[in-house]
Chain A
Amino acid sequence: MLGKGIRSGVKRLFRLPLTSDARAAADADAELRVFLAERVDYLVRRGMPPADARAEALRRLGAPLSDTTLLLHASAARRERHMRLRDMMHDFLHDFRYAIRTLRRDARFAAFAALILGVGIGATVIVFSVANALLVRPLPFQDPDRLVWIENGLGAGLSAQTIQVANYLDYEQQNRSFEGLGAYMAFYGIGDTRLSGEGASARLSVVPVSRNFFPVLGVQPILGRQFSAEESLRWNGPKVVLLSNALWRTRFASDPGIVGRSITLNDAAALVVGVLPASFDFGAVFAPGTRIDMFVPFPLTDETDRWGNTISVVGRLKDNVTLGQAAAESRMLGARITAAASRRNEFDPRLTSLREHVSGRVEGALGVLAFAVGVVMLIVCANMSNLLLVRATTRRKEMAVRAALGASRRRLVRQMLTESVVLSSFGAALGMVLAIVGTRAVARLDAVALPLLGGVRIDPSAVAFTLILAVVTGLAFGLVPALNVPAAVHEELKSSGRAVTEGKRGNWTRSFLVVAEIALACVLLVGSGLLIRSFLKVMEVDLGFRPGRVATLRVDPGAGWTTSRERMNAYFDEVPTRTSALPGVQSVALADRLPLGSNRSWGVAAKGRTSERSDWQPAFVRVVSEGYVGTMGMRLIAGREITIHDGPKSEPVIMINETLARALWPGEDALGKVMSADGDRRVVGIIGDVRHLALEEGAGNEMYIPMRQTGDFPAVNLVIRSTLAPVSLGAAVRNALQSVMPDLPTNDLRTLSQVVDKAVSPRRFITLLLGAFAVFALVLALLGIYGVISYTVSHRTQEIGVRIALGASSGHVQRRIIGETLALASAGIAIGAAGAWLLGRALRGFLFGVTPTDPLTFGAMLFVLAAVAVLSGWVPARRASRIDPIGALRSN
């Protein structure tokens, strides 16, 4: 029997390669013709007249000739297609096995390549998954494309962005764009609610929502029901709650009988009416970085209308209405409603799609990250191309032999490409593992205030992306080396035994790739350098307070203390006294709101200048106790701090920050003046500005009202400056306050440093990622330079040997090679610097305290790159300088 290879050789001898159905049809025609001719011959030999024989042959066909021809064309075409496919599979399997064999022979190379590729692909897939979760995957609501975010456009701060209840009700009634509107009360307090009863008591966060909030989103409770109309009639009405899925699982062990049970919230009984699905995570969508545990009904009534701007609104567009139409109608309605009701707050509804509202803020950051991983992948590909080029030159002989044995150039190119795709598939497998680990880590970054991070995971689209990435990168970095397969086989074989001198072209390609690598690495290095410097600048910002060793804990007065102003003030005496008696505690104070947390603002004016609307300024309100300024480490600029004597019976006083002082009394001394804020109050102290909104943002107007002179505070935080570790501090405070506040939850104890960390977490997230990419790029560039220079050295052994033999000193040889390295590096750095300049401009929005062309960053990063280049050239240069001239000359 003939061997398969020879048989196909024979096929090839007698038959043109079958590439089309036409060819198969021609074959079938020939076969049919011969068949008929043979039968005619046969019959004629048996004595039949030729004409009859012909007729008989056609009759025996069993079908008209034309039909038969068509049928045979079809069956032959099918057969050829099938065989072509099989040949391709066969070739591929052969190439694949061959690739595995060669790679196994060179396992170190394969492992190294898979590692580089794996890190690159892993990073890319992680960034893809984050982008997928934040930008692509639909929000976890029914028909999320129709959902719109509606906020007030009155300025910065939550009070200027939320909407007054009566305005909302008019808007809901008059609009023709929305199928429905839903609202939540935006001034919910994180940790406002104390859950006691089963287990240790805990601080929970509860969001009040309007009755149709969940229906508009299309969120259905998995257990129980939505809030009823009666339950949404008045504030502090019947206590009913909907539980978040997470709370139900962790606190109530997924109890299927939870609905209808009563739980204890702030010492009062509340009825559980339902449990929300796991897919609904309020924090992930509306308040990144926070966890919301429960929902209570928020009544839309006169009662809540009196609270001013309080609600944030989500609407569902009607099917035939676009966002633009709805926005136009809303502008008109806003003006009309504001004009019609002069005693209400202004209403200027601004519409964005909910998707835009949720992920719009992070789009820029993701763009930067996507760009960065793209650059990393390019560097990886350049690096792999270079490695394969080096391999290809050492394998030229193998290729030549295979070509001589009859492999076409196309076949060899395909073989090389198969090898590179196999390599990149190994890399992709490793990258997949890294990506799974990485996405899990990202999804667990609770402290990072980025939306929807919990939904980051490897899903089918990420797997598909990885597969495509593997093939595309394999082809990308394999193409150059594959096309480098020798065309002139015979030259290659003739040169047997001699060191192969490679052409100028190969050398040029390699140098080009290295220059590209350095340039790309340079772009990333400078970009991440700018971000790192920004980050450092942000951390250096004068916060206006000193967060070190300060911890905070909610200590809202429980039942029994809130009956009267006197009782409350007694509580404000007790708590600091007992806490400051603890060993290690330096000072203690109380405050309703802490920096970098939530905020509220009131309109204020200088007394006597209150007639015009423009006289009124919004100012952030803090209600604090005596000792707050010192405990927080804030600066008292002038006047005095409020004291324990600023009580309900003494003159109402206030402390304001420098900005507010300048705003209300420009060019005057604010101290001792009276202002209108929660009644008339005399300014007794001027305080240094505090970064209350974000580290990157200035203070704005701020004022501090004595806690003993107002009942209007949404929360009471204990602020403790101490030398104790937070864990032991929590237990100590709990014990100390046992008699005043039994069963105090301490699960919300945080240090101010944690608060600051959380505020910068998105910036840290992107800085860290970009920094990691830049370091990886730098390592790859280093390897690239090293690879090329040491390759050149090893292929010029002879030449260098001759030079040394002719008297070149080792220093001279080293200098020459390092000079070559520097030439490559400076070309790369020059191009890279230009690219970095462009990236810097694109990064402008992320920079803080540095210009996009920050000379220090550019200088430092370019120096690092040059130093790395010299270092990676130095090793092969040393090797070159030690070449033994005799050995080098004799070696062939």
Chain B
Amino acid sequence: MLKGTLDVLVLKALSWGPMHGFEIATWVEDRSSQRLEITDAALLQALHRLEERELVTAEWGETENGRRARYYRVTAAGRAHLRTTAAALVDEFDAVVSVLALKSR
């Protein structure tokens, strides 16, 4: 995955509503039709990092299975960050795609 992609994906997931770590993982896997597989350790670290940068906040809440989990919620700053980095990322992928799509001689 390109640098920064994981952060954007997490923020994107959270923009749909508060989730705990595993919900974010399944959300990304499902929406990408299982083509993107996130490393769980990296995901949890990313969450800590995003919280440190105040792009998300966390609260303890209860999961559907009755466990106490940290629920993350995207902040206003997080939304702004998502908009700009997502656009930049799309641009970048587009460029990569157009280069790779060139027919070889």
Contact = CB atoms under 8 A, between A and B. Distances in A.
A71 interface: yes
Interface string A62-98: 1100011001100110110011001000000000000
Contact of A71 (B20, B45, B63): B45
Contact of B49 (A15, A28, A62, A75): A75
Interface string B45-74: 100110110100101100101011110000
A39 B57 contact: no
Nearest to B61: A14
Contact of A62 (B20, B39, B70): B39
Interface string B27-56: 000000000010111101100110110100
A31 B69 contact: yes
Centre residue among A31, A68, A71, A86 by max chain B CB count within 10 A: A31
Contacts of A645: none
B22 interface: yes
Contact of A14 (B51, B57, B59): B59
Contact of B59 (A10, A32, A57, A86): A10
Contact of A35 (B21, B37, B59): B21
Interface of B: 20-23, 25-26, 37, 39-42, 44-45, 48-49, 51-52, 54, 57, 59-60, 63, 65, 67-70
Nearest to B23: A38
B52 A35 contact: no
A28 B60 CA distance: 12
B79 to A, nearest CB: 12
Given A10-B59, A75-B44, 19 more contacts: A7-B57, A31-B44, A34-B20, A34-B22, A35-B69, A38-B20, A38-B22, A38-B23, A38-B63, A39-B22, A42-B22, A57-B40, A60-B37, A60-B40, A63-B41, A68-B40, A68-B44, A75-B48, A83-B52
B15 to A, nearest CB: 14
A179 B84 CA distance: 70
A68 B41 contact: yes
13 contacts: A27-B70, A31-B70, A34-B20, A38-B65, A39-B40, A41-B65, A61-B39, A62-B40, A62-B42, A72-B41, A72-B48, A78-B52, A83-B51
Given A14-B60, A31-B70, A78 B48 contact: yes
Interface in A1-48: 7, 10-11, 14-15, 27-28, 30-32, 34-35, 37-39, 41-42
A72 B44 contact: yes
Given A38-B65, A38-B69, A79 B41 contact: no
Contacts of B21: 31, 34-35
B45 to A, nearest CB: 5
A34 B67 contact: yes
Interface of A: 7, 10-11, 14-15, 27-28, 30-32, 34-35, 37-39, 41-42, 57, 60-63, 67-68, 71-72, 75-76, 78-79, 82-83, 86
Contacts of B20: 34-35, 38
Contacts of A38: 20, 22-23, 63, 65, 67, 69
Given A10-B59, A42-B22, A35 B40 contact: yes
Contacts of B69: 31, 34-35, 38
Contacts of A39: 22, 25, 40
A32 B48 contact: no
Given A15-B60, A30-B68, A75 B45 contact: yes
A558 to B, nearest CB: 84
Centre residue among A7, A32, A79 by max chain B CB count within 10 A: A79
Nearest to B41: A68
Given A7-B57, A38-B69, A60 B52 contact: no
Closest 3 CB pairs of A and B: A62-B39, A75-B48, A38-B22
Contacts of A7: 57, 59
B39 A60 contact: yes
Contact of B51 (A42, A57, A72, A79): A79
A84 to B, nearest CB: 11
Contacts of A41: 65
Contacts of A31: 21, 44, 69-70
A34 B45 contact: no
A7 B18 CA distance: 15
Contacts of A82: 52
A636 B45 CA distance: 101
Nearest to B57: A7
A72 B45 contact: yes
A75 B49 CA distance: 7
A60 B23 CA distance: 14
Given A11-B59, A14-B59, A79-B48, A37 B41 contact: no
